[in-house]
Structure 1
Amino acid sequence: MHPPGWQEYVPGVGLARIYERAWLPKDIVAGLVLSALLVPQGMAYAELAGLPAVTGLYTSILCLLGYAVFGPSRVLVLGPDSSLGPMIAATIAPLLLANGDPARAVALASMLAVIVGVVMTVAGLARFGFVADLLSKPTQIGYMNGLALTIVIGQLAKLFGFSVDADGLVAEAKAFFSGLADGDANATAAVIGVASLAGILLLNRFMPKLPSVLIVVVLAAVVVGAFDLESKDVDTVGVLPQGFPPFTIPAVSWDDLPPLLIGAFAIAVVALADTMSTASAFAARRGERVRGNQEMVGIGAANIAAGFFQGFPVSTSGSRTAVAEQAGSRSQVTGIVGAGMITVVLVFATSLMQYVPQPTLGAIVIAAALSLADIAGTRRLWHQRRTEFGLSIIALLGVAFLGVLPGILVAVGLSILNVFRRTWWPHTAELGRVEGVAGLHDTESYPDAELLRGLVVYRFDAPLIFANARMFSDKVREIATDDPSLQWIIVAAEPITDVDTTASDMLQELDAWLNARGVSLVFAEMKDPVREKIERYELTRTINPAHFHPTLDAAVAAYVQQTGASWRRPQQEADDEGSRR
């Protein structure tokens, strides 16, 4: 049941009215646990997006508060995301000056967040939640695999304590290995980075309930501080700027808006697809229903809030949501507690991050990127459907070699083309009767299926539209030409969900062509809405109204009554044909 009126669009108000006191201790504990993950991940993902680490904390605070008010899910956790970081960097990097002014980078990222928020909110209010379907599962797997590969390659230099001046997967890989060969790596930093990555992966594997990121960050910071590793050129986060971020309207020029809009739409599609899949998974476990359009409004509000407080675009995090749920979260109060703890760090304890080494942040990003990759899903596509495996690989290569933003466009385009391909070249079948099996079945699957002389039952598994009208016509003409004894072609029309005007004209021409050869075009099981369109197109002036039957059985029975034909196996028909010759 939705709450009445405006409260439907502000779920946080409704939650406040029904909030139970017994939930509070669990929400507080879950919020404290969650904040331990939000701080290091927020900083790491900010640097992945090419922004100062502290902006990750600003973003985390405001997006959690924004979603708590407008988000419909009680358990989802929003925040900086590893899948969006490269997209943000790819959008704002071309707009920066040669030296990459951090203040301008923050302004561009903040405006990008505001635009993403507006796009998501408007789309949610307009009930465009279906946009998430623009990324099919195979192309989404390929996109995420490509993104994971891109992130890992891009973070390797940071993991080993040096930097490279390169852009793109191939260029960054070459620059990294060249740097290793030239001795640019810092051995101490590399040990910390590799050890941090190994620690996160091992803890996640063998002790998944422990906050692996927090444990590794604390240990790494203790080691750096205790052994004064900064003197050995190990870069650290340093002391963060103190205080809560002020309300700021991002200052960008009009020339910056077109590329920001393009990036915003791409980010919105990825964030929505990620949120819908995560929301569906957790809602199913909790017996709840996903409100897709309100999720868009919630994500939009979170992005707008972050954008006006020096933040950047955010999405749902499956890993952080899982942590909150495992810690006993009952509502979005968990996120509010987490935002409060981050604020405490910014106001009273900015020096806590002073000794956190940059290679450890790189390790956090790499570990998150590895979780994005779906090798098992790719392997499953290979075994189940090679065409979709191919789409997945093309999406991967699009991200890896064209870049993140072109890659998402390739992924969306492939998803749309795949749908169009299935409509353009649908599966078709000629049907026959199989002994002991009810109904009529594909003669390719049952080569010994019985047939009626002079009759072909043809099934076309798609709506009949402009894209496939010629294919339908050519196939029917081929059937009529190959069988001189043909009298009827029954179209099993149950899978045909639509007939457009192009297909209508084709059917009129096809029926006239068949009639000239003494062949009747007959339809069975045509849906009422499609039949209404046939009559509206006035096709029944050409196609005999008596040639529309409610079921296949009725159509076949009418043919048998008219011709006296009997069911025979293909071999029997061939033997009789030979005897007649």
Structure 2
Amino acid sequence: MRSLAWVPGIEVATTYRAKWFPKDLVAGIVLTTLLVPQGMAYAELAGLPPITGLYTSILCLLAYAVFGPSRVLVLGPDSALGPMIAAVVVPMVLAGGDPGKAVALASVLALLVGLFMTVAAVAKLGFVADLLSHPTQLGYVNGLAVTILIGQLPKLFGFSTEGEGLWADIKGFVTGLDETVPAALAIGVGGLVVILGLQKLLPRVPAILVAVVGAIAAVTLMDLDVDVVGPLPQGFPPFTIPTVSLHEFGLLAAAAVGITLVSVTDTISTASAFAGRTGQEVRGNQEMGGIGAANLAAGLFQGFPVSTSGSRTAVAFAAGAKSQVTGLVGAAAITLMLVLVPGLLKDMPQPMLAAVVIAASIGLADVKGMVRLWRQRRIEFALAAAAFVGVAVLGVLPGIAWAVALSVLNVFRRAWWPYRTELGKPENVDGYHDLQQYPEAARTPGLVIFRFDAPLIFANARTFREEIRHLATDGTRWILVAAEPITDVDTTAADMLEELDQELNAKGMSLVFAEMKNPVKQKIDRYGLTRTIDPAHFYPTLDDAVAAFRRSNA
């Protein structure tokens, strides 16, 4: 039974209720109206033929229905992953472009992401999603949104540019404006206005479907001279084992690490947002297993890396989705379209696909979040801004590495320079409190009560020692450490405490602890610190320690 826990689709099949099917069917059909145009648009965003977006959508939906634990999450091509895929695939394809080569590279990338996800799920490494803090994730996503928007502007205006990076895209767009195709611009801007307008004014109306149908009708009826998608291959995507060179494999593996991290982070956050609404618990490791299976399936059928889509999940949920059957309906609908009417979308204009991607980038951006950080905590706003600049200056893939580095450095900064303060006893308030909050709090002559709000480790041992030395003024007899916030003491900090205690004893002072957690006290004993620090100088509460000080100095 434990092995079946990794195949939630079996549980869904055995517990499925017939009354759910009408709602799942409707939700699946509604979802398809979003899956098709977005899948094609995000494939082009990734530098791949539009058909691969449909292949990817079919296979990831089928695989997640079997291996995914959430009943409502919808996977598929993602606007956040598109630039990351393009950043590694496009430069590796020879000049002039080889769609077959690009598809093979993207498929291997999907297989690697699926492998990494599966290994991480088995090893229970769901915590890796925490490597991106919210501020750095916010800055990264906003940088990504700007990069996507700028990169799609030439296609919206009916021309193409060459160049890598945000600044090259801006320069190419500005210098290429004289090549603007008026009909393409009208289709693209008109479609973008329809999508954004309907999403705001009539959110229940399938805005993208309306815009796509309108664009196809305009091109067909008015015989507009704009680039179109063209006929799509007929039939179900073929099973394919992609091959690449060893050098290419190494580059793809490095990129797959970043894509895996972004996909895990996005999935865990989206799953958490919808778990409360459905009464389910977030199972991070199983979610990684489900996404891993989806990527493996996509990679074997000419697909590319996928992630959870918050927008498509919201559409399915609002349409009444009850289970993964919604995704199966969507996969079946796309397959039927490819088998029976592959020419249905052949007249879809390329500027319309650009409009779909730009609308997604606008939805991806979170300016309000940046403003909120500015108002709430400037240091975290600075982290978000640095992550934003990292994406803009370094590029999409280096930008994710930069964002992770910023998150880790921020954790280290907090451990290195934690909050520390002196405590006193305020009038008419129980207990001992921060003198910065209660500057008039009473202090006992000869006794300093010091609180250090962090584990005591190698990174902050020097800071702790310098603070104690600063407090060890003439007339001080005891320096009492309120140790409740100290959750750990490593060997470097233990050596520091031993030297510090000897230094204070030489001045006629004592280093005393109160409210130390039992696991930390056990480490203190194991390190042998009680050879120098008097064992009697560990008290269960601050009141006990203060009372002992007063007795010894009566």
For residues 453 and 326 of structure 2, the distance between their equivalents in structure 1, rounded to whole angstroms, comes to 49
Per the alignment, residue 165 of structure 1 pairs with: 162
Residues 1:264 and 2:256 aligned together: yes
Q: CA deviation at 1:287?
A: 2.0
Q: CA deviation at 1:299?
A: 0.2
Q: Could you say what secondary structure the match of 1:241 adopts? A: coil
For residues 142 and 181 of structure 2, the distance between their equivalents in structure 1, rounded to whole angstroms, comes to 29
In structure 2, which of residues 37, 40, 43 is the aligned counterpart of residue 43 of structure 1?
A: 40
In structure 2, which of residues 122, 131, 134 is the aligned counterpart of residue 134 of structure 1?
A: 131
Per the alignment, residue 578 of structure 1 pairs with: none
Residues 1:563 and 2:550 aligned together: no
Per the alignment, residue 567 of structure 1 pairs with: none
Q: CA deviation at 1:166?
A: 1.6
For residues 353 and 543 of structure 2, the distance between their equivalents in structure 1, rounded to whole angstroms, comes to 68
Residues 1:88 and 2:85 aligned together: yes
Counterpart residue identity of residue 3, structure 2: W
Per the alignment, residue 533 of structure 1 pairs with: 523
Per the alignment, residue 198 of structure 1 pairs with: 193
User: Residue deviations 1:448-501, cap 9 Å, x none?
Assistant: 111010010000000000011111111101111xx2000000000001000000
Residues 1:98 and 2:95 aligned together: yes
For residues 373 and 439 of structure 1, the distance between their equivalents in structure 2, rounded to whole angstroms, comes to 46
For residues 384 and 548 of structure 1, the distance between their equivalents in structure 2, rounded to whole angstroms, comes to 39
Per the alignment, residue 20 of structure 2 pairs with: 23
User: Residue deviations 1:160-211, cap 9 Å, x none?
Assistant: 111111211111111101111xx10001110110011111000000111111
For residues 255 and 205 of structure 2, the distance between their equivalents in structure 1, rounded to whole angstroms, comes to 36
Per the alignment, residue 238 of structure 2 pairs with: 246
Residues 1:61 and 2:58 aligned together: yes
Residues 1:356 and 2:348 aligned together: yes
Per the alignment, residue 505 of structure 2 pairs with: 515
In structure 1, which of residues 204, 209, 219 is the aligned counterpart of residue 204 of structure 2?
A: 209
After TM superposition, the structure 1 = structure 2 runs for residues 449-468 of structure 1, keeping only pairs within 5 Å, are: 449-468=441-460
Q: What runs of 5+ residues in structure 2 fail to find an aligned partner?
A: none
Q: CA deviation at 1:94?
A: 2.4
After TM superposition, the structure 1 = structure 2 runs for residues 3-22 of structure 1, keeping only pairs within 5 Å, are: 4-22=1-19
Q: What runs of 5+ residues in structure 1 fail to find an aligned partner?
A: 565-581
For residues 96 and 164 of structure 1, the distance between their equivalents in structure 2, rounded to whole angstroms, comes to 16
User: Residue deviations 1:209-246, cap 9 Å, x none?
Assistant: 111001100011001000111xx2x0011111111111
After TM superposition, the structure 1 = structure 2 runs for residues 375-454 of structure 1, keeping only pairs within 5 Å, are: 375-454=367-446
For residues 500 and 387 of structure 1, the distance between their equivalents in structure 2, rounded to whole angstroms, comes to 28
Q: CA deviation at 1:443?
A: 1.0
For residues 464 and 192 of structure 1, the distance between their equivalents in structure 2, rounded to whole angstroms, comes to 62
Counterpart residue identity of residue 341, structure 1: A
Q: Could you say what secondary structure the match of 1:451 adopts? A: coil
In structure 2, which of residues 265, 269, 287 is the aligned counterpart of residue 295 of structure 1?
A: 287
In structure 1, which of residues 120, 127, 144 is the aligned counterpart of residue 141 of structure 2?
A: 144
Q: CA deviation at 1:267?
A: 0.3
Per the alignment, residue 579 of structure 1 pairs with: none
Counterpart residue identity of residue 30, structure 2: V
Counterpart residue identity of residue 548, structure 2: A
Q: CA deviation at 1:11?
A: 0.2
For residues 377 and 284 of structure 1, the distance between their equivalents in structure 2, rounded to whole angstroms, comes to 22
Q: State the number of aligned residues.
A: 554
For residues 440 and 298 of structure 2, the distance between their equivalents in structure 1, rounded to whole angstroms, comes to 66
User: Residue deviations 1:301-356, cap 9 Å, x none?
Assistant: 00000000000000000010011011110000000000000001111111111111
Q: CA deviation at 1:445?
A: 1.8
Q: CA deviation at 1:131?
A: 0.5
Q: CA deviation at 1:517?
A: 0.2
In structure 2, which of residues 174, 178, 183 is the aligned counterpart of residue 188 of structure 1?
A: 183
Q: Could you say what secondary structure the match of 1:431 adopts? A: strand
Per the alignment, residue 303 of structure 2 pairs with: 311
User: Residue deviations 1:41-76, cap 9 Å, x none?
Assistant: 000000000000000000000000000000000000
Per the alignment, residue 325 of structure 2 pairs with: 333
Q: Select between 29-38 and 42-51 the one with higher mean Cα deviation.
A: 29-38
For residues 164 and 227 of structure 1, the distance between their equivalents in structure 2, rounded to whole angstroms, comes to 27
In structure 2, which of residues 496, 519, 526 is the aligned counterpart of residue 506 of structure 1?
A: 496
Counterpart residue identity of residue 149, structure 2: V
Per the alignment, residue 553 of structure 1 pairs with: 543
Per the alignment, residue 487 of structure 2 pairs with: 497
Q: CA deviation at 1:271?
A: 0.4
Per the alignment, residue 462 of structure 2 pairs with: 470
For residues 453 and 90 of structure 2, the distance between their equivalents in structure 1, rounded to whole angstroms, comes to 47
Q: Could you say what secondary structure the match of 2:456 adopts? A: coil
For residues 96 and 222 of structure 1, the distance between their equivalents in structure 2, rounded to whole angstroms, comes to 34
Q: CA deviation at 1:563?
A: 1.6
Q: Could you say what secondary structure the match of 1:496 adopts? A: coil
Counterpart residue identity of residue 133, structure 2: S
Per the alignment, residue 282 of structure 1 pairs with: 274
Per the alignment, residue 474 of structure 2 pairs with: 484
Per the alignment, residue 575 of structure 1 pairs with: none
Counterpart residue identity of residue 190, structure 1: L
Q: Could you say what secondary structure the match of 2:72 adopts? A: coil
For residues 563 and 196 of structure 1, the distance between their equivalents in structure 2, rounded to whole angstroms, comes to 82
For residues 507 and 246 of structure 1, the distance between their equivalents in structure 2, rounded to whole angstroms, comes to 66
For residues 86 and 302 of structure 1, the distance between their equivalents in structure 2, rounded to whole angstroms, comes to 20
Q: Select between 360-369 and 93-102 the one with higher mean Cα deviation.
A: 93-102
For residues 453 and 2 of structure 2, the distance between their equivalents in structure 1, rounded to whole angstroms, comes to 43
Per the alignment, residue 109 of structure 1 pairs with: 106
Residue identity (%) = 63
Q: CA deviation at 1:96?
A: 1.4
For residues 356 and 101 of structure 1, the distance between their equivalents in structure 2, rounded to whole angstroms, comes to 22
Per the alignment, residue 347 of structure 1 pairs with: 339
Q: CA deviation at 1:100?
A: 2.1
Q: What is the TM-score with the length of structure 1 in the denominator?
A: 0.95
Q: Could you say what secondary structure the match of 2:431 adopts? A: strand
Counterpart residue identity of residue 245, structure 1: P
Per the alignment, residue 124 of structure 1 pairs with: 121
Q: What is the TM-score with the length of structure 2 in the denominator?
A: 0.99
